[in-house]
């Protein structure tokens, strides 16, 4: 899809990957609709984006609240006249062993990371179908393909969005809508801000790639309408090794990470 004069919704745009991606899309001709639960970060992100895309707007929304999502999508459509691109990027992550994760925390991961994007897609697809064109990108995770301890809820929610995206790719292709996934790994963002245990701190310290290093690839995935984009390149190598030597990988991870279980 050519990005010029397109309206792009990016969720989770107040920080991290979403914020950088919104800037990248604004620089390449899109008008942005920034969506996030974090009001303060959202206002700052909107100021930055407006330098390149002055008609951009922001919506404070908890994407797990389906009524809020429905009203927001209706308002965005009325205000901007079209919705060409949807990037489902907002998510949460706790690093806790399953025994320490409450039922509520587990469910919240599914509500935000899986049912949130599903709700947005349900409301946006009829609009894209009427337009005859649209691109939907769901942000999955290397952590759903190479699953590590302490991420049972997060990895399950990301595996769900990956499988859901795969089915939708086939179902929506002939209706003019491209569905793709972006699979990041090891990006230095605020998603680890709340970690309070050795395992979480260990994972956080492995994440060193700045989000600005992957936004070009995500933008190109939208332009070229690719199904799967793994970023950065080092994650592609890691997944390749894991796919060929899964049991060696698993044994070595277990012995490396066991000291971090508390």
Ligand X SMILES: NC(=O)c1ccc[n+]([C@@H]2O[C@H](COP(=O)([O-])OP(=O)(O)OC[C@H]3O[C@@H](n4cnc5c(N)ncnc54)[C@H](OP(=O)(O)O)[C@@H]3O)[C@@H](O)[C@H]2O)c1
Q: Which residues bind ligand X (CB under 6 A)?
A: 11-12, 14-18, 36-38, 41, 61-64, 89-92, 112, 139, 141-143, 184-187, 189-191, 207
- Residue 232: phi and psi, rounded to 5, are -75, -175
Least CB distance to ligand X at residue 13 (A): 7
154 is catalytic: yes
Helix-then-strand count for the chain, H and E? 10, 7
Alpha-carbon distances, residue 46 vs 3, 14, 39, 62, 87 (angstroms): 19, 8, 11, 17, 16
Contacts with 203 (C-beta within 8 Å, 6 or more apart), sequence order: 95, 148, 150, 192, 195
Nearest to 32 by CA among 16, 14, 55, 15: 55
Least CB distance to ligand X at residue 99 (A): 23
Least CB distance to ligand X at residue 18 (A): 6
Structure tokens at 37: 């639960």
Which residue number has the CB closest to ligand X? 16
Distance from the Cα of residue 118 to its chain's centroid = 12
Least CB distance to ligand X at residue 108 (A): 8
Least CB distance to ligand X at residue 219 (A): 15
Catalytic option among 114, 115, 154, 203: 154
Structure tokens at 112: 């935000």
Residue number, 118 or 131, with CB nearest to ligand X? 118
DSSP secondary structure code for residue 15 in this structure: S
Sort strands 57-60 and 31-36 into parallel, antiparallel or unpaired. parallel
What residues act catalytically? 154
């Amino acid at each position: 899809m050519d990005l010029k004069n397109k309206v792009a919704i990016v969720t989770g745009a107040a920080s991290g990957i979403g914020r950088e991606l919104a800037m990248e899309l604004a620089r390449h001709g899109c008008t942005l609709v920034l969506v996030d639960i974090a009001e303060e970060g959202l206002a700052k992100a909107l100021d930055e984006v407006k330098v390149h895309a002055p008609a951009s707007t922001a919506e404070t929304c908890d994407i797990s609240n389906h009524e809020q999502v429905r009203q927001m999508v209706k308002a965005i459509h009325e205000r901007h006249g079209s919705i060409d691109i949807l990037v489902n990027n907002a998510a949460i992550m706790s690093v806790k062993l399953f025994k320490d994760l409450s039922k509520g925390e587990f469910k919240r991961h599914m509500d935000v990371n899986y049912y949130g994007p599903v709700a947005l897609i349900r409301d946006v697809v009829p609009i894209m179908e009427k337009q005859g064109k649209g691109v939907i990108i769901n942000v999955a995770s290397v952590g759903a393909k190479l699953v590590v301890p302490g991420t049972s809820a997060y990895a399950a929610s990301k595996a769900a969005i990956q499988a859901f995206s795969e089915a939708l790719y086939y179902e929506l292709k002939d209706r003019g809508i491209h569905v793709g996934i972006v699979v990041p790994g090891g990006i230095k963002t605020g998603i680890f801000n709340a970690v309070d245990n050795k395992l979480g701190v260990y994972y956080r310290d492995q994440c060193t790639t700045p989000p600005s290093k992957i936004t070009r690839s995500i933008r190109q995935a939208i332009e070229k309408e690719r199904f799967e984009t793994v970023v950065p390149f080092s994650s592609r190598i890691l997944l390749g090794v894991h796919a060929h030597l899964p049991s060696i990988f698993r044994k070595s991870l277990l012995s490396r990470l066991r000291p971090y279980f508390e």
